[in-house]
Structure 1
Amino acid sequence: MIPHVDPDYSGSDSLAGQHVVVLGMARQGMALARWLPAIGARVTLSDTRSAEKLAAEIAALEGQPVRFALGGHSVSLLDDADVLCVSGGVPLTLPIVETARRRGIRVTNDAQLFLERCPAPVLGITGSAGKTTTTALVGAMGRASGRQTWVGGNIGDVLLDVLPQIVPDDVVVMELSSFQLELMTISPSVAAVLNVTPNHLDRHGTLDAYAAAKANIFVHQRAFDVAVFGYDDPVAHKLSMGTPGRMAYFSLHHAVASGAYLDHDAIIITRGDSAPGLAYQTVCPRGAIRLRGDHNVLNVLAACAVAGAGYIPVEAMRAAIETFTGVEHRQELVATLDGVTWINDSIATAPERVSAALRSYTEPVVLLAGGRDKRLPWAEMAALAAQRCRAVIAFGEFGPQVVEHMRRAQAQTSGACLERIELVTTLDEAVPLAQTLAQPGDVVLLSPGGTSYDQYVDFAARGQHFRDLVHGLAGER
């Protein structure tokens, strides 16, 4: 078991009696609205939306002793506030956040509050790409070991909801986004930075600021904690030089002394601090991985390195890998209709992730791309799409710019296979158009490269809409 400091999570919480203002009534804000009153805090929920638009959320909190301040985030809310809790999607540049900091009011979030109180070691995972798949796989490994395993954070459950049920011998696997991490002053016992490539520059401004937010996952660790890094990623590798705890790595191309790597066609786990005979073990052959693409082999290696640092047995790693088929909205098979395979990759909110998806298919692709821009470079992905795609259908707020990128790549790429570039407004238009353009043997791939916030509450809602539309096509046959 990883050493950890037991928090003071007795009947009297440090927030009891304090007035906590929560910004945002999405998933994290709603969880805070349930948890904070239970520990004795006074709660005000603030959201920029109106009561009419938040009718479902307000109804869900019926009976909870919370106050609502809707239609904006008034600085006056801070007049008697002790703590300001910020949901992940709320920019820290808002006047109310900046004013709270100037006044010395604590600014925090659900992830920080959970980590401060969790009685079990936490395996935390972040990265520009692959963190959801890696988190889900580590969770599957924990369950395969027979231990009670809790998975959540930036995905799935907000872990504050289950905090009272967690005991010290459990496994907690937590995905952490840069939005959550930029506020945090505590790090999990095992912290993984998978990779750091340009992402969320619309929020962080520069790659250095984005990387600094990611680094918060390990910079507050203790000497006996473990930080896991992607050895092949130059930014993650550079960040590893600043860890205060022990280091482990994962790599497709290099043997590592502690962590996981690919040795020809075998997944190898190494533990530098283990007894002879346990320091080097074969987890499984590469062929046991059921996910497509080298990027998913890296995700498996990352999961093994994290699980190894969390003392999850190799047998449990192997069992989980052999049965793991991926996560919702990540290259998820929706249907095969008239010889055309429909894939939901709505979670791909950066062009780098679209490239990874495109490399997974040898079949011609009809790509659905767009959404809202994050100020990321698209040229490399567009050039790959020009080589791999039969057609590209751009949609959403960023659709016109996607068309420009694709046309430029089509003209500049030698041997381009891209035949059609189309612009529509919504998925309701894109899906039937894709049906007319796709041929038997093709893949229709929703891999947007942009966020969902132009038209949807999150990528999951966008992916579900795509599923519904595809299933509607099946019903019309």
Structure 2
Amino acid sequence: MHLLHLDPQARDRLASFQGRRVGVVGLGREGVDLVQFLSRCGALITVSDHAGPETLVDALKSIEGLADRYLIGTQAGADLLDCHEIFVSPGVPPEAAVVAEPRKAGLPVSSATRLFFELCPGRIVGITGSSGKTTTTSLVGTILEEAGVPAAVGGNIGTPMLGRLAEVTADTWCVLELSSFQLADVERSPQIAAVLNITPNHLDRHPDMDDYIRAKSNVLRYQRLEDTAVVNADDPIAHGLPHRSSRLEFSLVRRVEGGWFDGGFLWLSGDASPLLHRQELQLRGHHNVANALAAAIMARVIGCETEAIRVAIRRFRPVPHRLEVVDTIDGITYINDSIATSPERSVAALRAVEEPVVLIAGGRDKHLPMEEWARMIRERARAVVLVGEAAPLIQSALESAGAEVPIETARRFTETVEIARGLACPGDVVLLAPGCTSFDEFRDYEARG
């Protein structure tokens, strides 16, 4: 690999893989990227995934000939005990035997995110939160592009970073969306770290809310005094996270040091005039005002001029699957917010849409409270189409909330849009904001959307 621009410590880390057996658990995007990267380092690779080969056709094709041992369709605790180090993909629970037993045996267990933090020669912007991560990450990337700042955007947004390491120099800002799973085991924090919000999420994976908060807080935990934390002043959990770096805030309700919203305008500290008016932001929902403020603050810390920030935000459009207007047919607008995989995110989507709504909801439950969601559906929805494993839970929550909206149940997701069209009137919005994960029918929210 052409990685001579890395520092000596990073090059030694790469050299340590030569001829040694390494395990990669999970063949999602990061797992595939890891196999490709480690093979270029000369590692002997064992691949492990509980899914069968029929599910992993594309992944296996991408790594064909790169690993010398494939354990596909079954996983056991002893599978990787002969490895020198194991890398675990974010989707693999830490209590899985294939991970837990090697860790108990004293084998090093790491991740792609942790390895990238070790090797990266550039500077890192890390963005986390229960919602808004992808939009904010994409917006920071757009601003840096407008300002002519070298940048690489990736992470949980869908672009693994190890395969892009060769293009990262000391001048590059790596803008990373970071999930709680990616942050759970890191022992370094980005030079600029943002916590957009923290609300209950992923409690089907985290044992409790405290563990979820602990994982999120790692984005700030290891920052140095010269680093910068950007936090939501309106979110009590995010605002209370400990860190020793300098601090900037954003708020929708009061003036703070960083950025705020007031009188219909977005403001940045130090500027005599506003950044832009709310109507210039081409994103639905008040929550996206907060996302834009956070992105603007991070860009300002990097060194971008106000005009570049302003121009970039004005031209920014919704990221796919995030309040994305798909089409308007016979006067009915169809909006895809498939990323709304928690009740809280579906609530935000319902608040963002002013028109009467026919809501498509359901999927696999994440063990999150539904009471506020049910009340919002009662207030905002003309009708609801339910689907998936969580459909009975959502219907029960709606009944408990006294919702009297018409409810239809689809057998499969492919039936939902046709049913919703029959319930909608011209001027309505058919809104996919499912409030649940997609894993009962699809590999991820993108396939569902």
Alpha-carbon contact 1:23-1:73 (below 8 Å) kept: no
TM-score (norm 2): 0.95
Distance in 2 separating the partners of 1:121 and 1:54: 34
Alpha-carbon contact 1:7-1:119 (below 8 Å) kept: no
Q: Deviations over 1:39-74 (max 9, x none)?
A: 222211101122343233222222324421112222
Which sits farther off after the overlay, 362-371 or 78-87? 78-87
What amino acid is the match of 1:264?
G
Pair 1:285 & 2:284 matched: no
The change in CA–CA distance for 1:306 and 1:406 in structure 2 (over 3 A counts) is same
Percent identity reads: 44
Partner of 1:428: 414
Partner of 1:256: 256
Partner of 1:390: 382
Partner of 1:407: 399
Q: Deviations over 1:206-260 (max 9, x none)?
A: 1111100100111111111111111000000111xx1021111111112222x21
Kindly report which structure 2 residues correspond to 1:427-466, keeping only aligned pairs within 5 A, or say none.
Answer: 427-463=413-449
> SS of the residue aligned with 1:445?
strand
Alpha-carbon contact 2:10-2:118 (below 8 Å) kept: no
The change in CA–CA distance for 1:90 and 1:7 in structure 2 (over 3 A counts) is farther
What amino acid is the match of 1:265?
G
Pair 1:326 & 2:318 matched: yes
Partner of 2:245: 245
Partner of 2:11: 10
Which of 150, 159, 183 aligns to 2:152? It is 150
Alpha-carbon contact 1:399-1:425 (below 8 Å) kept: no
Q: CA deviation at 1:280?
A: 6.4
Kindly report which structure 2 residues correspond to 1:129-140, keeping only aligned pairs within 5 A, or say none.
Answer: 129-140=131-142
Q: Deviations over 1:114-160 (max 9, x none)?
A: 11111111110000111111111111111111123211100121111
Alpha-carbon contact 1:125-1:131 (below 8 Å) kept: yes
Distance in 2 separating the partners of 1:253 and 1:158: 36
Kindly report which structure 2 residues correspond to 1:37-436, keeping only aligned pairs within 5 A, or say none.
Answer: 37-239=39-241, 242-257=242-257, 259-270=258-269, 282-411=274-403, 418-436=404-422
Q: CA deviation at 1:443?
A: 0.3
What amino acid is the match of 1:222?
R
Q: Deviations over 1:260-307 (max 9, x none)?
A: 11232332222xxxxxxx576642222221111211111111111222
Structure 1 stretches of 4+ moved >6 Å: none
Q: CA deviation at 1:351?
A: 0.7
Which sits farther off after the overlay, 62-71 or 10-19? 10-19
Q: CA deviation at 1:167?
A: 1.1
What amino acid is the match of 2:295?
A
What amino acid is the match of 1:388?
R
What amino acid is the match of 2:244?
P
Partner of 1:471: none
Which sits farther off after the overlay, 332-341 or 402-411? 402-411
Distance in 1 separating the partners of 2:411 and 2:308: 46
Supply the RMSD in Å over aligned alpha carbons. Answer: 1.7
What amino acid is the match of 1:236?
A
Partner of 2:3: none
Distance in 2 separating the partners of 1:204 and 1:425: 30
TM-score (norm 1): 0.89
Q: CA deviation at 1:315?
A: 2.0
Distance in 2 separating the partners of 1:7 and 1:234: 42
Alpha-carbon contact 2:232-2:238 (below 8 Å) kept: yes
> SS of the residue aligned with 1:210?
helix
Alpha-carbon contact 1:193-1:230 (below 8 Å) kept: yes
Alpha-carbon contact 1:122-1:190 (below 8 Å) kept: yes
What amino acid is the match of 2:259?
A
> SS of the residue aligned with 2:354?
coil
Listed as ranges, the gaps of 5+ residues in structure 2 are 1-5
Distance in 1 separating the partners of 2:28 and 2:74: 15
Alpha-carbon contact 2:39-2:45 (below 8 Å) kept: yes
Alpha-carbon contact 1:7-1:116 (below 8 Å) kept: no
What amino acid is the match of 1:104?
G
> SS of the residue aligned with 2:152?
strand
> SS of the residue aligned with 1:228?
strand
Q: Report the count of equivalent residues.
A: 443
Q: CA deviation at 1:107?
A: 1.2
Q: Deviations over 1:292-328 (max 9, x none)?
A: 1211111111111222222232222111110011101
> SS of the residue aligned with 2:338?
coil
> SS of the residue aligned with 1:456?
coil
Distance in 1 separating the partners of 2:16 and 2:299: 32
> SS of the residue aligned with 1:244?
coil
Distance in 2 separating the partners of 1:66 and 1:325: 44
Partner of 1:470: none
What amino acid is the match of 1:248?
L
Distance in 1 separating the partners of 2:344 and 2:101: 36
Alpha-carbon contact 1:348-1:447 (below 8 Å) kept: yes
What amino acid is the match of 1:296?
N
Alpha-carbon contact 1:399-1:424 (below 8 Å) kept: no
Q: Deviations over 1:389-414 (max 9, x none)?
A: 11011101111111111222235xxx
What amino acid is the match of 2:401?
A
Distance in 2 separating the partners of 1:22 and 1:324: 37
Alpha-carbon contact 2:196-2:238 (below 8 Å) kept: yes
